[in-house]
Structure 1
């Protein structure tokens, strides 16, 4: 069962309650006054480029984006867990760092990557992470 969160006007879907708690704590620790800081930064300062945001991410976050780019812009959760050497909700922590970096910069994290859920032939849910086509070049530049 997945858990859906709303943070700063952005909907985030987590696989487990533990992952949701982790995401909330991570996002909350990134700002001193929560949503209002994000809203203020959107209106009072120029938003940084996606390239600059990607350059400012941690190594694991960059690695996740690098694997999504290498997979043609879309990668599933199984591939990312394998490539990043993380288990269970560990992937949520890595991807949460990307979300947090975007939120700090005052942009919608969906400009960097989007999550969707598909169903495999066996009925199992497959989580797909996609870098939007219009963002892929900027993300690539940030990874170099």
Structure 2
């Protein structure tokens, strides 16, 4: 039987059952990693999970983050387009990848350089549909208020 070198401490620590699949000669087959969920901020636009198909979920804007007794943010107050507010836990909120344009830019010099580069290059973009323009305008109006 060949000598097996000592295992690193992170592979031999006690853990709850079913956390790891198993440790064999070649190492763990599966190691559970915690990536953490996306951080949400006040003003973020989110989808609100519901017992409906994903296309039917409501959209909302976070207006307040509530802290629990251990000072962790676990829930948020969400403003709907109908001006109603809901309290939802953060694991039912999925942030969209759109951000507020009013946030200050920390590196204005870099932005000026990028803008000058963009002006010198000609870019060809396909025309936007009228429905897309109207939707973007409604989202902008809703988020600015």
TM-score normalised by length of structure 2 = 0.21
Q: Which has the higher helix share?
A: 1
Give the alignment's TM-score, normalised by structure 1: 0.22
Larger Rg: 2
Q: Kindly indicate which of the two structures has a greater share of residues assigned to strand.
A: 2
| Higher RCO (Cα < 8 Å, 6 or more apart) | 1
